[in-house]
Structure 1
Amino acid sequence: MTPRLSLARRLISFASSLLIIVAASQALASDAVPAKQLFGGKKLPANLPAQAYGFYSKGCLSGGIAIATDGPYWQAMRLSRNRRWGHPELIKLIERLSRDAAQHDGWPGLLVGDISQPRGGPMLTGHASHQVGLDADIWLTPMPNRRFTAAERESTSAISVLKAKSVVTDPNVWTEAHGRLIMRAASYPEVQRVLVHPGIKKKLCDTWKGDRSKLNKVRPYYGHHYHMHVRMRCPKGSRNCRAQNAVPADSGCGKALDWWFDVALKPKKPSKKKKKKAGKPKKPRHIMLGDLPSACAVVLNSAGPESEEAVTFRTATSAQTAFAPLKPVKSPFSMPALVPIPKPRPFVQ
């Protein structure tokens, strides 16, 4: 063996060892940092095929896309959070809902809240779910006939449809259009469930005169009195997406709903038992990268989209709108200037 060949082999061996050491160091570093910090720090999606990995509350997303800041019948809110990313099928669903509700249900447009982070995963604050790009919060506040400024998108609050300090809907806020919007979302086969406050579910149980066959998909849950949470089924092709149990076949308007008002939402009576001296409260255990599906490590560490494959957000113009032409909003927050959109864009007539 010549000295030159021997030296080349030693260099290759050294380089390989170095790569192994670097990879091991990265893995150890990831294991020491909560997954919410790892995924919350990613500004752009993984440049991989669209896939939802794991469960809604323990998973990640590859190939996600961001819903446009503005569309004919929607506006994205809270831009600074960078949580308007989702599986392409979910973004397609939201755009479809916005159009159908405006054209058929008397709902002028959607105000879109949190969807998911660019690569899904646990969030820095809030939500336990929204991790696989298949959950979307839609405000129960109708879109106004104007575009919010970037600052207004951060400061404007969604309006509760309940009476103050009550668990029943406020007739001065709740309209039949609210009911039509919720039931429209529940009517789509790809929607697995729609979470709303029990008071909203009760209102629909008592007043909905349309097709009640999908009322079982409208599920009562704590909060959700100012927005509805739309959850999509695992899309075709996402083999590693774990489905949630099916909703019961009955309407959900009986004893199960009564429990919320008789037990869950009842004010808690002060206990007469002497309180034991409380020690230091245990800190909740953070979800770590190792707790997520193994594919999430690949998603986390994959490269983002190349600049030549990225395009700026675009305002959809392919559908007719009753509003005046609207300009995209320039955000002063640290949102990426370039984001990938699908080819073709899923917004269709």
Structure 2
Amino acid sequence: MKRVIEGMAIIALMLCSGAVTASPWESVEAPSRGSSESIGSYSNGCLAGAQSLPLAGDGYQVMRSYRGRYYGHPDMIQFLTDLSQKANKLALGQLLVGDIAMPRGGRFSSGHASHQTGLDADIWLKVVDKPLSDDELIDVQPLPMVHLKQYKINKKNWGESQVLMIQLAAADERVARIFVHPVIKEQLCAREWTERDWLRKVRPWWGHYYHFHVRLNCPEGDSSCKEQAEPPEGDGCGAELASWKPKPKSEQKPKKKVVKAKKKVPPPPPAQCLVLLEGSGKKDG
């Protein structure tokens, strides 16, 4: 316990001083042995006993595998496998799976605030009819579904396959949330659905204009996993969604002088995570 406390103090000191530019979790090469467990919260946690998603399977491929971000809780691995098989049967196209988590989860130095417990995964909205080559998978280019400046859907790229892919994922009871760009949420809300309960899980969030982010519920029995509060009641298609739309320039308030805020220091990870990191056998350098 003393070593854990000392480890937490050292990490906190390095973060405060700005001495850390890379997350120590990024140098971990392999999952821990033993049973699987998601620990902590989606944005401050880690993952014990991770499983790796095979780089290719029935109806999916993992992109940019050299980054080593294709590890997840077994629930996530099973979810992605199930989703790709369902999508394949419906001829929705090949799933392109992006980042899930690192071998023991944990914090990224940049790019993600969440994806720390193996319960988050990015799935691109780019639809391909056949598997990509190894060279193509290394540097796949995103296909934007939204004209960002105009705040409108890109009709050339957005279609039925994308709509049904999100609906198929959100309808799964294992899913807690799906994050998409507000314009994509608008498109989903505008359709007439026989069953609309799943729309509650689809949450607007900036940046998700070429992929959707799936977040699973805490696995049953993982007592150290912290659930996120449930989304507000309803389908989220009314005033809540409208509040995301940028106001016309004539209605915008004059910008105040921006005072550069101090860099926020992330909270220390749960003690269980520090134990997991300590025994990880990190890469040299």
TM-score of Structure 1 vs Structure 2, range by shorter chain: 0.7 to 0.9
Cα RMSD of the aligned pairs, angstroms, is: 2.7
Cα distance, 1:171 vs structure 2: 1.7
> Which residue of 218, 225, 234 corresponds with 2:209?
225
- Cα separation, 1, equivalents of 2:181 and 2:208: 5
- Cα separation, 1, equivalents of 2:85 and 2:183: 27
Matched, 1:60 2:46: yes
Are the aligned partners of 1:46 and 1:300 in contact in 2 as well (CA < 8 Å)? no
Match of 1:142 in 2: 127
Paired AA for residue 296 in structure 1: C
Q: Which runs of 5+ in 1 are unaligned?
A: 1-19, 305-333, 335-349
Match of 1:271 in 2: 254
When normalised by structure 2's length, the TM-score is 0.87
- Alignment partner of 2:92: what SS? coil
When normalised by structure 1's length, the TM-score is 0.72
Are the aligned partners of 1:122 and 1:287 in contact in 2 as well (CA < 8 Å)? no
- Cα separation, 1, equivalents of 2:254 and 2:102: 41
**Alpha carbons of structure 1 residues 96 and 299: separation in structure 2 relative to 1, 3 Å:** same
- Cα separation, 2, equivalents of 1:24 and 1:55: 20
- Alignment partner of 2:214: what SS? strand
- Cα separation, 1, equivalents of 2:182 and 2:78: 28
Cα distance, 1:183 vs structure 2: 0.7
- Cα separation, 2, equivalents of 1:103 and 1:201: 25
Moved over 4 A (4+): 20-36, 265-270
Matched, 1:177 2:161: yes
Number of residue pairs the alignment of both structures matches: 277
Matched, 1:287 2:266: yes
Cα distance, 1:125 vs structure 2: 1.7
Deviation string 1:151-202 (CA, Å, 9 cap, x unpaired) is 4223221211113632221221111121110011010111001110110110
Q: Which has the higher strand share?
A: 2
Are the aligned partners of 1:140 and 1:228 in contact in 2 as well (CA < 8 Å)? yes
Matched, 1:39 2:22: no
Cα distance, 1:147 vs structure 2: 2.7
Taking only the aligned residue pairs, the percentage that are identical comes to 34
**Alpha carbons of structure 1 residues 143 and 63: separation in structure 2 relative to 1, 3 Å:** farther
- Highest CA radius of gyration, 1 or 2? 1
Cα distance, 1:72 vs structure 2: 1.8
- Cα separation, 2, equivalents of 1:28 and 1:178: 46
Cα distance, 1:228 vs structure 2: 0.3
Paired AA for residue 302 in structure 1: G
Are the aligned partners of 2:61 and 2:131 in contact in 1 as well (CA < 8 Å)? no
Q: Which runs of 5+ in 2 are unaligned?
A: none
Cα distance, 1:222 vs structure 2: 0.8
Are the aligned partners of 2:39 and 2:117 in contact in 1 as well (CA < 8 Å)? yes
Match of 1:133 in 2: 118
- Cα separation, 2, equivalents of 1:259 and 1:21: 48
Match of 1:113 in 2: 98
- Cα separation, 1, equivalents of 2:3 and 2:193: 63
> Which residue of 135, 154, 157 corresponds with 2:138?
154
**Alpha carbons of structure 1 residues 187 and 23: separation in structure 2 relative to 1, 3 Å:** closer
**Alpha carbons of structure 1 residues 28 and 251: separation in structure 2 relative to 1, 3 Å:** closer
Matched, 1:302 2:285: no
Matched, 1:94 2:80: yes
- Alignment partner of 1:52: what SS? strand
